Amino acid sequence: MIPFDSFAMVDWSGGNDTGPRPRRDAIWLGLVRQGREEPPRYLRNRALAQEAIAELIETERCAGRRLMVGFDFPFGFPAGFAEGLTGRADPFAVWDWFEDRISDDPSANNRFDVAAMANGLFPGTGPFWFNGLRRDIAGLERRDTRAGHGQRERRAADAPGTFTCWQMGGAGAVGGQVLTGLPVLNRLRRRFAGDVAVWPFEDLARPVAFVEIWPGLINEVVKQAEAAGGVRDAHQVRLMARALARLPETDLAAMLAIDAPEEGWIMGLGHEEKFSRAAEGLKPPPLRDDCFALPGGVDWTPADQALALLRARLHRVVGQEPVDLASGLGRVLGAPVTARRANPPHPNTAVDGYGFAYASLGEGDQTLPLIAGRVAAGVPYAGDVPFGSAIRVLTGAALPSGVDTVILQEDVSVGRGEIAFRAGIKPGANTRRAGEDVGEGETILAPGRVLTPADLALCAAVGVARLEVCLRLRVAIISTGDELAEAGETPREGQIFDANRPMLSALVRDFGYEVVDLGKVADDRETLRRALDRGAAEADVILTSGGASAGDEDHVSALLNDAGAMAEWRIAIKPGRPLALGLWRETPVFGLPGNPVAALVCALIFARPAMASLSGAGWFEPQGFDVQANFEKRKKPGRREYLRARMREGRAEVFKSEGSGRISGLSWAEGLVELPEAGAEIKPGDSVRYIPFASFLRG
């Protein structure tokens, strides 16, 4: 498919001119031009709409940009109607027929009369009904009393329960839109003859495509946007244009590959989820095909070099959505947060005590008359405090006018109507300045921040109630191997239980991501291919375990190799056999080793930071600590080693066996000791680097 550069969406209306003020149930036009969204345009009548679309086609054509325009009404009728109306099973014959008969101006049109004319060509009552006018029209009933017309109610694309194209009036009716819409499209088609292709009737290899789309496909996203205010139709065309512009090309091509030569089709039908996701936020471009390529000629890549490559080439792949503070915990911020108000909003007292003007104090010990009343948090003091007097204040109270300094109540003797205290208080003592914590308009949190409980407190304190966050990264998890049975099942001879999937699923949830569990897959290429396809459709990243080497049964690497975007990562770490890193339909795949110990280490050391990048949080480095060893080990030079370890009495101890099949050691451990590539002779008391498992959780 030749890609499109600009996407427009039109919300049509069969009614009369809707007046100068933008309103709903009118014609709206949304546009995304080369990835840039333009504000939706309100078009008060069809004549203006036709001109606006014509101008758009003109502009895009002159600029050499390919344009797709979506319309929200059917381009065809149920099969059989064209033949009955025109004698030919050709949708364009129907367009011509209506264009010849419809007269349309901003204040009136004859769509009901034309429907009656059409009815006259069919047996019985004819298929159209609902006369919305005061006067009676011969051949168009007010109510659905149709009989014997022989036409189908709906096209194959129309869902049961939706309005049919035969109903000419009433809220939501489609018939009026079709009858007034097709003549406009027909005129545009003629005016730009050869440049416009109408889908799915014509070959799309032209600069402009007219496509039927139903905005109901993204209903949930529209509802969310509408909750923040604005006209529904405006949101609809804006978000639909955005969805079209953001859909991966392969998805768009698949949705356009439809055969419906007479009735037409609703593009995207059955792909609601894809549309909604695309509409939800500005989705960043996909990763580059070569993002996992390693420099050639190297046998074993040092771990740091491998990590630096991932860091440089991976980026956020998820869109974003607004959420309430209450749902913000653990989410990745998608846009900066600025303070709507200063914190504190007004100068206030930090303690319980007495407030006065510092300038009113004399030399030495002090006695001040106390005025009646007190000031408490949330209860402002209406009057002025006279110069030379003091007033009772409680923690958090806004300083009344005339007060700039507070003395702690414990430092004061209170007499009848006066207070006394010793010399030495400083100006402004025990008070907080307005904005001393956060100034109004200050940026308090940056994109990529993984929100903590304290962050939510900070947002609330400065009046921020909603946050733009990244969509949760969806991580598909697949275990591979003929030998795998599910814990709880009765294993066959020679089977082992799948330990990796429960481990990796839990890990991914701990990271704050969404798990898409794709189960276990036998060592069979076609089954695995289907699982990867599902992963690419339903997730943002795929984690597999097993089958990642280069053996006969290593189907993960074989498939990724065939797809042409795979690299075998032979990284100089222990434990860890080769990782298979690649893209499957633009979705990154981390092919982890099957061995659970190696799978966990590779997931933590490589997949963890990579997923943080993909999630929008940015690259991630687990916090390690230099501690004393409580073990002995002789290490050969060459590979970086990770030992299962834990801290006891301030020292790191390691699991008694380094055997890579020992899952019990993983469970025993509370972290990893990381030994650098160089050879070493470690003795108790030597310094080693310990990384607690907790360091790998939320960044």
Residues that bind ligand AMP (CB under 6 A): 479, 481, 483-484, 496, 498-501, 545-548, 593-596
In angstroms, the first-to-last Cα distance of the chain is 41
- Among ligand AMP, Mg ion, none, partner that 646 touches (CB below 5 to 8 angstroms by kind): none
CB nearer ligand AMP, residue 127 or residue 547 = 547
- Among ligand AMP, Mg ion, none, partner that 699 touches (CB below 5 to 8 angstroms by kind): none
- Among ligand AMP, Mg ion, none, partner that 11 touches (CB below 5 to 8 angstroms by kind): none
**281 and 471 Cβ atoms separated by less than 8 Å:** yes
- Among ligand AMP, Mg ion, none, partner that 496 touches (CB below 5 to 8 angstroms by kind): ligand AMP
As measured in angstroms, the least distance from the Cβ of 580 to ligand AMP is 10
**396 and 327 Cβ atoms separated by less than 8 Å:** no
Which residue has the CB atom at the shortest distance from ligand AMP? 594
Q: Is 613 helix (H, G, I), strand (E, B) or coil?
A: helix
Residues whose CB falls within 8 Å of the CB of residue 65, separated by 6 or more in sequence, listed in order: 5, 6, 33, 34
DSSP 324-383: EGGG-TTPBB-S-EE-SS-BSSS-EESSSEEEE-GGG--SSSEEEEEEEEEEBTTB---S
Token pair of 532, please? 């990867």
- Among Mg ion, ligand AMP, none, partner that 498 touches (CB below 5 to 8 angstroms by kind): ligand AMP
As measured in angstroms, the least distance from the Cβ of 176 to ligand AMP is 59
What are 32's strand-pairing partners? 7, 37
**If binding is defined by CB under 5 A, does position 547 make contact with Mg ion?**
yes
As measured in angstroms, the least distance from the Cβ of 569 to Mg ion is 17
CB nearer Mg ion, residue 483 or residue 540 = 483
CB nearer ligand AMP, residue 546 or residue 692 = 546
CB nearer ligand AMP, residue 446 or residue 550 = 550
591: part of which helix (H) or strand (E)?
Answer: strand 587-592
Residues whose CB falls within 8 Å of the CB of residue 281, separated by 6 or more in sequence, listed in order: 318, 319, 320, 321, 334, 471
- Among ligand AMP, Mg ion, none, partner that 131 touches (CB below 5 to 8 angstroms by kind): none
Please give the Cα distance from 437 to 465 (Å, whole number).
Answer: 19
Please give the Cα distance from 68 to 57 (Å, whole number).
Answer: 9
As measured in angstroms, the least distance from the Cβ of 548 to ligand AMP is 6
DSSP 136-171: -BTTB-SS----S----SS-TTSPTTSPPTTB-SST
CB nearer ligand AMP, residue 169 or residue 594 = 594
Calculate the alpha carbon distances from 166 to 82, 122, 177 in Å.
14, 13, 11
Q: Segment near Mg ion (CB under 5 A), from 56-64, 103-111, 475-483, 491-499?
A: 475-483
Q: Segment near Mg ion (CB under 5 A), from 309-317, 423-431, 542-550, 613-621?
A: 542-550
Q: Which of 355, 546, 575, 593 binds Mg ion (CB under 5 A)?
A: 546
As measured in angstroms, the least distance from the Cβ of 500 to ligand AMP is 3
Burial of residue 327 (CB within 10 Å: 0-12, 13-18, 19+) is middle
- Among Mg ion, ligand AMP, none, partner that 334 touches (CB below 5 to 8 angstroms by kind): none
CB nearer ligand AMP, residue 52 or residue 666 = 666
Whether the CA torsion 647, 649, 652, 654 is positive or negative: it is negative
- Residues in region 575-594 near Mg ion by CB under 5 A: 594
CB nearer ligand AMP, residue 310 or residue 484 = 484
592: part of which helix (H) or strand (E)?
Answer: strand 587-592
As measured in angstroms, the least distance from the Cβ of 663 to ligand AMP is 8
Please give the Cα distance from 40 to 23 (Å, whole number).
Answer: 12
Please give the Cα distance from 558 to 216 (Å, whole number).
Answer: 41
Q: Which of 481, 512, 576, 622 binds Mg ion (CB under 5 A)?
A: 481
As measured in angstroms, the least distance from the Cβ of 526 to ligand AMP is 18
As measured in angstroms, the least distance from the Cβ of 571 to ligand AMP is 15
CB nearer ligand AMP, residue 444 or residue 499 = 499
Q: Name the residue among 46, 15, 126, 141 with its Cα closest to residue 81.
A: 126
As measured in angstroms, the least distance from the Cβ of 555 to Mg ion is 9
Please give the Cα distance from 296 to 336 (Å, whole number).
Answer: 40
As measured in angstroms, the least distance from the Cβ of 538 to ligand AMP is 20
As measured in angstroms, the least distance from the Cβ of 314 to Mg ion is 27
CB nearer Mg ion, residue 102 or residue 581 = 581
CB nearer ligand AMP, residue 126 or residue 593 = 593
Please give the Cα distance from 176 to 115 (Å, whole number).
Answer: 9
- Among Mg ion, ligand AMP, none, partner that 545 touches (CB below 5 to 8 angstroms by kind): ligand AMP
- Among ligand AMP, Mg ion, none, partner that 593 touches (CB below 5 to 8 angstroms by kind): ligand AMP
What are 623's strand-pairing partners? none
As measured in angstroms, the least distance from the Cβ of 496 to ligand AMP is 6
CB nearer Mg ion, residue 31 or residue 600 = 600
CB nearer ligand AMP, residue 264 or residue 546 = 546
As measured in angstroms, the least distance from the Cβ of 53 to ligand AMP is 56
DSSP annotation of 473 reads P
Q: Name the residue among 58, 71, 75, 67 with its Cα closest to residue 29.
A: 71
Q: Name the residue among 545, 527, 564 with its Cα closest to residue 479.
A: 545
Please give the Cα distance from 411 to 354 (Å, whole number).
Answer: 10
As measured in angstroms, the least distance from the Cβ of 189 to ligand AMP is 57
**If binding is defined by CB under 5 A, does position 596 make contact with Mg ion?**
no
What are 27's strand-pairing partners? 43
- Among Mg ion, ligand AMP, none, partner that 76 touches (CB below 5 to 8 angstroms by kind): none
Tally of residues, the chain: 699
Token pair of 425, please? 């208080």
- Among Mg ion, ligand AMP, none, partner that 483 touches (CB below 5 to 8 angstroms by kind): ligand AMP
Token pair of 355, please? 């407030």
**Site map (CB under 5 A) of Mg ion, residues 404-443, x = contact:** ----------------------------------------
- Among ligand AMP, Mg ion, none, partner that 8 touches (CB below 5 to 8 angstroms by kind): none
CB nearer ligand AMP, residue 318 or residue 477 = 477
- Among Mg ion, ligand AMP, none, partner that 225 touches (CB below 5 to 8 angstroms by kind): none
Phi and psi, residue 242, nearest 5° = -65, -45
Token pair of 360, please? 């009113």
As measured in angstroms, the least distance from the Cβ of 232 to ligand AMP is 49
Q: Name the residue among 466, 480, 472, 550 with its Cα closest to residue 511.
A: 472
- Among ligand AMP, Mg ion, none, partner that 60 touches (CB below 5 to 8 angstroms by kind): none
DSSP annotation of 449 reads -
Rule CB under 5 A: which residues touch Mg ion?
A: 481, 546-547, 594
